[in-house]
């Protein structure tokens, strides 16, 4: 049947991503650039399309301008459909009043009408801030096979890191009997990936009950999942193995970019079988000049390289002038790095110009962390910005010189 | 001013038969990620034209695959957009013996129903073997200001320096830009101005000319229409002075590809404000350079994996350069795969060529070594 969809995907993209600081000041986290020509949300959207899920609601709230523009009619992901496709779902004013999305569960609760239009049996809940390639169709098969009410995708993490995640304890057949959010003493290494499949009727029942509870924080992890567990619903853990990374922090975002490099990259984007789609403009090819040195790097169309680029990821339209050295860094779209400038262990956001002979980031080894330069800045010549700095306006640099 | 476009996708196919054996001139790949038609299409789109007819002849499957619905040029429209005009035969009238058109004028006669159904006052006609980034709206403005029937866009050439194709039309004009004569270029002749085969024509003038040609059995657009009416009809020329690349042979294809390594040519084609060149997007990943990669003076598309040495070369999307492999002065088309320790010099590899470990191939600048599509070496 064409009009009825078996499963509707709901993508939570309203979070601020406050731990990305300067990168999400004017931009929601799912719209942050990744890997040269992608934005974080491309991975989830491409996974949906590649899995055969063609109806995706994207729930937006925080700074949605860039994200709305980026998703548009969904054309790059083949989601420009006459029925279904990608739909942006911002909070709205209803008959009973207007509310912001108070939590992840509340966001879905407010859009139950949208889901019902397609009369699905299942609802897939996704978040727009993870980098991974996953076939949701296999997860849905598992959900059906187990005759589950809720299936949660889990990934094995090292025991010492397990206390950073929501941990599932399961029986041998995968049935979940315990869920602990960031436990101090984890008794399992199965971490929730924030990907849920619910049977629609069960989900709606719990969302309605949750909405009646004034004490609830309307969150899947805090309220819905524990309530379902307490009621002994059929909840199963779907084991996923492969690349998966939460890019919620500066260091994890940087690491995920670096995972694109190396002899055999741990995150392979050249895989024709599972393409990641993105909206990009038509750029000229990349030009590598006679004086350029490019090693172990990922470079996108529109770049002009006359300097040295090592262990770095460059976005579209980046210009690296002669004598400039960029290493261990992520340089986003349309950044210009002038002659003699040095950038090391840094993330430089879109449209910024780094003046001649400026020095950004750790001089040799990264001591404390990654330096971040916000979008659209004009970093003056000869300025020095050290290790682990967060520059969101040029004034921050000048004060330092005066000191 | 409403203007429609008309592109000849197959004209001059025979001049570069190695590459057009399996495709149209319009779909010959050029410049890492483009096909020749992208330049004609982008020039039209960038000047506000939204209805474009594409005249085809044969082997146009690759062209249709490239164009799709036209969305990459913003030409997927409910009204207008891209119209592919396949060769037209009257099913029961076999008077032309099933012969396809052989000249520009016959091609125009074949699409006369498209032309008469257009509501636009003017048409821009363009070939695909001339590569440029031209502001057509300026030429259209001049055409309208001159109240012209036909405006031929010309370029200046110098004998001995510029590559002048044999079939070039020499345009002679008076001081006010009015065309007084059109002649065939004779080798060795000192010429100054030749036609780019891009022109703007009033639709009614064109329809009259086609009707007249049908009645008289004319077959040559420049001889029977332009030259015969020069001095009588309002035929003007518009001089274009930007970068213009004319593909006339495989050698010229090779030499002109190498010209892209010069910043002047590259910027004149691709770095013009508000006038990007569009092409079919492929969603390739960014190009990955490994630790051992050594790339110099090269123009590279996305989707490549480079593990070896690349110098003075043009790499299309999805090219793989293996470990210890040296690629110098080459044009490697889409998805060329080179194994390890391969040595290539002055090679043009068509799409999907596989060059296995340790092979050594060399042509010369004056005679590049051509490897046909899909071959394995």
- The verdict on residue B241 lying in a domain is yes
What pLDDT sits at residue A127? 92
Task: Decide if B296 and A300 are in contact by the 8 Å CB cutoff.
Answer: no
Q: Number of CB pairs < 8 Å for A and B? A: 99
Task: Decide if A294 and B290 are in contact by the 8 Å CB cutoff.
Answer: no
> Do B23 and B168 lie in a common domain?
yes
Sign of CA dihedral B39, B41, B42, B48: positive
| Chain B residue with minimum CA distance to A272 | B284
Q: What is the mean pLDDT of residues B142-149?
A: 96
- The verdict on residue B139 lying in a domain is yes
- Per cent of chain A over pLDDT 90 is 81
CA–CA dist B131, B269 (Å, integer) = 8
- The verdict on residue B275 lying in a domain is no
> Do B182 and B247 lie in a common domain?
yes
Q: Which residue has the higher pLDDT, A313 or A393?
A: A313
pTM for the whole structure:
0.92
pLDDT exceeds 90 at position A46: yes
DSSP B71: G
DSSP B99: P
pLDDT exceeds 90 at position A15: no
Task: Decide if B283 and A314 are in contact by the 8 Å CB cutoff.
Answer: no
Please provide the average confidence, as pLDDT, over all residues in chain A: 93
Place of tokens 């969302």: A207
Q: What are phi and psi of A389, to 5 degrees?
A: -90, 160
pLDDT exceeds 80 at position B191: no
Q: Which residues contact B154 (CB under 8 A, 6 or more apart)?
A: B171, B173, B193, B194, B195, B196, B237, B238, B239, B240
Q: What is the pLDDT of residues A170-200, one digit of tens each?
A: 999 999 999 998 899 998 999 999 999 999 9
Sign of CA dihedral A213, A217, A219, A223: negative
> Do B114 and B157 lie in a common domain?
yes
Partners of A298 on chain B (C-beta within 8 Å) are 285-289
| B273 in contact with chain A, both atoms CB, cutoff 8 A | no
Task: Decide if B285 and A263 are in contact by the 8 Å CB cutoff.
Answer: no
| B298 in contact with chain A, both atoms CB, cutoff 8 A | yes
Identify the band that residue A399 occupies on the pLDDT scale cut at 50, 70 and 90: very low
Q: Which residue has the higher pLDDT, B189 or A89?
A: A89
Which of A335-349, A381-395, B71-85 has maximum average pLDDT? Answer: A335-349
Task: Decide if A300 and B302 are in contact by the 8 Å CB cutoff.
Answer: yes
What pLDDT sits at residue B95? 61
pLDDT exceeds 80 at position B250: yes
Give one word for A242, left, alpha or beta, with left for phi > 0 and alpha for psi -120 to 50: left
> Residue B99, Cβ neighbours under 10 Å: how many?
11
What pLDDT sits at residue A403? 45
Strand partners, B304: none
What pLDDT sits at residue B309? 98
> Do B303 and B345 lie in a common domain?
yes
| B272 in contact with chain A, both atoms CB, cutoff 8 A | no
Q: How far apart are the first and last CA of chain B?
A: 54
Identify the band that residue B167 occupies on the pLDDT scale cut at 50, 70 and 90: confident
- Per cent of chain B over pLDDT 90 is 79
What pLDDT sits at residue A181? 87
> Do B111 and B173 lie in a common domain?
yes
- The verdict on residue B276 lying in a domain is no
> Do B240 and B294 lie in a common domain?
no
Token pair of B127 as six digits: 């070939």
> Do B122 and B260 lie in a common domain?
yes
Report the candidate in B233, B237, B213, B216 with the shortest Cα–Cα distance to residue B105.
B213
| Option in B72, B293, B299 nearest A285 (CB) | B299
Q: What is the mean pLDDT of residues A368-388?
A: 94
| A284 in contact with chain B, both atoms CB, cutoff 8 A | yes
Identify the band that residue A395 occupies on the pLDDT scale cut at 50, 70 and 90: confident
pLDDT exceeds 80 at position A367: no
Partners of B287 on chain A (C-beta within 8 Å) are 286, 298-300
List the single range of A142-156, A269-283, B315-329, B358-372 with lowest mean pLDDT: A269-283
CA–CA dist B372, B352 (Å, integer) = 9
User: How close A279 comes to chain B (CA, Å)?
Assistant: 9
Task: Decide if B285 and A270 are in contact by the 8 Å CB cutoff.
Answer: yes
What pLDDT sits at residue B90? 60
| Option in A275, A281, A288 nearest B283 (CB) | A275
Q: What is the mean pLDDT of residues B74-97?
A: 78
- The verdict on residue B282 lying in a domain is no
Task: Decide if A276 and B285 are in contact by the 8 Å CB cutoff.
Answer: yes
Strand partners, A38: A34
User: How close B31 comes to chain A (CA, Å)?
Assistant: 8
What pLDDT sits at residue B103? 86
Final residue belonging to a domain, choices B228, B243, B270: B270
Partners of A313 on chain B (C-beta within 8 Å) are 286
Q: What is the mean pLDDT of residues B238-244?
A: 95
What pLDDT sits at residue B89? 66
What pLDDT sits at residue B97? 60
Q: What are phi and psi of B223, to 5 degrees?
A: -75, -45
DSSP A175: B
pLDDT exceeds 80 at position B99: no
- The verdict on residue B197 lying in a domain is yes
CA–CA dist B125, B6 (Å, integer) = 5
Identify the band that residue A18 occupies on the pLDDT scale cut at 50, 70 and 90: confident
- Per cent of chain B over pLDDT 70 is 97
Q: Which residues contact A172 (CB under 8 A, 6 or more apart)?
A: none
Q: What is the mean pLDDT of residues B183-189?
A: 84
Q: What is the mean pLDDT of residues B215-232?
A: 92
> Do B98 and B237 lie in a common domain?
yes
> Do B262 and B325 lie in a common domain?
no
Final residue belonging to a domain, choices B215, B235, B270: B270
> Do B308 and B248 lie in a common domain?
no
Residues spanned by the domain of B317: 288-371
Partners of A280 on chain B (C-beta within 8 Å) are 281
What pLDDT sits at residue B164? 83
User: How close A303 comes to chain B (CA, Å)?
Assistant: 10
Token pair of B172 as six digits: 């002679």
- The verdict on residue B281 lying in a domain is no
Which run of H or of E encompasses A150?
A: strand A150-156
> Do B44 and B147 lie in a common domain?
yes
| B290 in contact with chain A, both atoms CB, cutoff 8 A | yes
pLDDT exceeds 50 at position A138: yes
> Do B100 and B224 lie in a common domain?
yes
Task: Decide if A36 and B291 are in contact by the 8 Å CB cutoff.
Answer: no
pLDDT exceeds 90 at position A209: yes
| B332 in contact with chain A, both atoms CB, cutoff 8 A | no
- The verdict on residue B9 lying in a domain is yes
Q: What is the mean pLDDT of residues B83-99?
A: 70
| Option in B271, B281, B293 nearest A294 (CB) | B293
Look at chain B and report how many structural domains it folds into: 2
Please provide the average confidence, as pLDDT, over all residues in chain B: 92
What pLDDT sits at residue B93? 59
Q: What is the ipTM of this complex?
A: 0.91
CA–CA dist B38, B73 (Å, integer) = 9
Q: How do A55-59 and A7-12 pair as beta strands? A: parallel
Task: Decide if A298 and B287 are in contact by the 8 Å CB cutoff.
Answer: yes
User: How close B297 comes to chain A (CA, Å)?
Assistant: 4
Q: What is the pLDDT of residues B259-292, one digit of tens each?
A: 999 999 999 999 998 999 999 998 899 999 999 9
3-state secondary structure of A155: strand
Final residue belonging to a domain, choices B244, B270, B296: B270
| A276 in contact with chain B, both atoms CB, cutoff 8 A | yes
In this structure, what CATH number is given to the domain that contains residue B24?
Answer: 3.90.550.10
Q: Is B373 exposed, middle or buried (0-12, 13-18, 19+ CB in 10 A)?
A: middle
| Chain B residue with minimum CA distance to A267 | B285
Q: What is the mean pLDDT of residues A255-271?
A: 94
Q: What is the mean pLDDT of residues A360-365?
A: 87
CB interface of B with A, residues 70-129, below 8 Å: 71-72
In this structure, what CATH number is given to the domain that contains residue B328?
Answer: 2.160.10.10
Partners of A263 on chain B (C-beta within 8 Å) are 290-291
Token pair of A131 as six digits: 């980098």
Identify the band that residue B34 occupies on the pLDDT scale cut at 50, 70 and 90: very high
User: How close A225 comes to chain B (CA, Å)?
Assistant: 37
Task: Decide if A289 and B296 are in contact by the 8 Å CB cutoff.
Answer: yes
Rounded to 10 degrees, the C-alpha dihedral A75/A78/A83/A86 comes to -60
**Apex A399 CA angle, A396 and A400, nearest 5:** 90
- How long is chain A? 403
pLDDT exceeds 50 at position A121: yes
């Amino acid at each position: 049947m064409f009009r009825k969809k078996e499963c509707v995907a709901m993508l939570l993209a309203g979070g601020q991503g406050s731990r990305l600081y300067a990168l999400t000041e004017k931009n929601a986290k799912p719209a942050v650039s990744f890997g040269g020509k992608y934005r974080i949300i491309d991975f989830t959207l491409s996974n949906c399309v590649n899995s055969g899920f063609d109806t995706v609601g994207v729930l937006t709230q925080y700074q949605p301008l860039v994200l709305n523009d980026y998703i548009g009619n969904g054309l790059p992901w083949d989601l420009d459909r006459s029925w279904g496709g990608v739909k942006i779902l911002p909070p709205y004013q209803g008959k009973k009043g207007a509310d912001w999305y108070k939590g992840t569960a509340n966001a879905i609760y407010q859009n139950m009408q949208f889901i019902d239009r397609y009369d699905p049996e299942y609802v897939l809940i996704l978040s727009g801030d993870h980098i991974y390639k996953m076939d949701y169709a296999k997860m849905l098969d598992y959900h059906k096979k187990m005759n589950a009410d809720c299936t949660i995708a889990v990934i094995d993490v090292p025991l010492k890191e397990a206390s950073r995640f929501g941990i599932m304890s399961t029986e041998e057949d995968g049935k979940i009997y315990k869920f602990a959010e960031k436990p101090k003493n984890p008794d399992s290494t199965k971490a929730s990936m924030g990907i849920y499949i619910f049977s629609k009727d069960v989900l709606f029942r719990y969302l309605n009950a949750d909405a009646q509870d004034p004490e609830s924080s309307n969150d899947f992890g805090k309220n819905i999942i524990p309530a379902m567990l307490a009621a002994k619903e059929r909840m199963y853990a779907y084991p996923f193995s492969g690349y998966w990374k939460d890019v919620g922090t500066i260091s994890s975002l940087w690491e995920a970019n670096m995972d694109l490099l190396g002899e055999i990259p741990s995150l392979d984007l050249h895989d024709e079988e599972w393409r990641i789609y993105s909206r990009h403009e038509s750029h000229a090819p990349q030009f590598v000049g006679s004086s350029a040195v490019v090693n172990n790097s990922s470079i996108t169309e529109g770049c002009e390289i006359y300097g040295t680029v090592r262990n770095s990821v460059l976005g579209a339209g980046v210009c690296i002038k002669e004598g400039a050295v960029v290493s261990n860094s992520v340089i986003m779209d349309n950044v210009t790095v002038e002659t003699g400038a040095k950038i090391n262990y840094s993330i430089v956001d879109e449209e910024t110009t780094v003046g001649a002979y400026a020095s950004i980031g750790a001089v040799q080894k990264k001591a404390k962390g990654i330096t971040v330069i916000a979008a659209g800045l004009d970093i003056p010549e000869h300025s020095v910005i050290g290790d682990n700095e967060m520059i969101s306006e040029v004034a921050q640099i000048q004060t330092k010189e005066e000191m | 001013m409403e203007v429609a476009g008309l592109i000849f996708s197959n004209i001059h196919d025979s001049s570069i038969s190695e590459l057009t054996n399996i495709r149209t001139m319009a779909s010959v790949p050029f410049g890492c990620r483009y096909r020749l038609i992208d330049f004609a299409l982008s020039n039209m789109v960038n000047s506000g034209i939204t209805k474009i007819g594409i005249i085809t002849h044969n082997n146009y499957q690759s062209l249709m695959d490239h164009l799709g619905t036209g969305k990459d040029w913003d030409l997927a429209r409910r009204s207008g957009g891209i119209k592919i005009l396949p060769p037209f035969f009257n099913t029961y009238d076999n008077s032309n013996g099933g012969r396809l058109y052989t000249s520009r004028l016959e091609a125009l006669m074949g699409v006369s129903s498209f032309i008469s159904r257009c509501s636009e006052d003017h048409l821009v006609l363009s070939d695909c073997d001339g590569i440029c980034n031209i502001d057509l709206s300026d030429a259209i403005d001049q055409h309208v200001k001159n109240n012209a029937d036909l405006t031929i866009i010309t370029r200046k050439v110098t004998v001995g320096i510029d590559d002048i194709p044999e079939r070039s039309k020499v345009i002679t004009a008076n001081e006010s830009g009015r065309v007084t004569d059109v002649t065939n270029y004779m080798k060795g002749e000192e010429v100054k101005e030749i036609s780019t085969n891009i022109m703007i024509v009033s639709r009614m003038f064109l329809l009259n000319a086609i009707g007249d040609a049908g009645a008289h059995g004319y077959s040559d657009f420049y001889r029977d229409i332009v030259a015969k009416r020069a001095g009588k009809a309002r035929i003007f020329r518009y001089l274009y002075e930007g970068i213009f690349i004319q593909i006339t042979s495989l050698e010229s294809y090779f030499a002109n590809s190498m010209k892209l390594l010069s910043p002047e040519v590259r910027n004149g084609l691709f770095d013009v404000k508000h006038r990007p060149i569009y092409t079919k997007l492929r969603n390739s990943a960014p190009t990955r350079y490994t630790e051992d990669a050594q790339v110099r003076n090269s123009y590279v598309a996305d989707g490549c994996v480079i593990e070896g040495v690349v110098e003075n070369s043009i790499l299309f999307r999805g090219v793989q350069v293996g470990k210890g492999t040296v690629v110098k002065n080459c044009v490697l088309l889409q998805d060329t795969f080179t194994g390890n320790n391969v040595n290539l010099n002055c090679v043009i590899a068509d799409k999907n060529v596989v060059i296995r470990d340790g092979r050594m191939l060399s042509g010369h600048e004056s005679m590049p070594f051509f490897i046909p599509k899909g071959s394995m070496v």
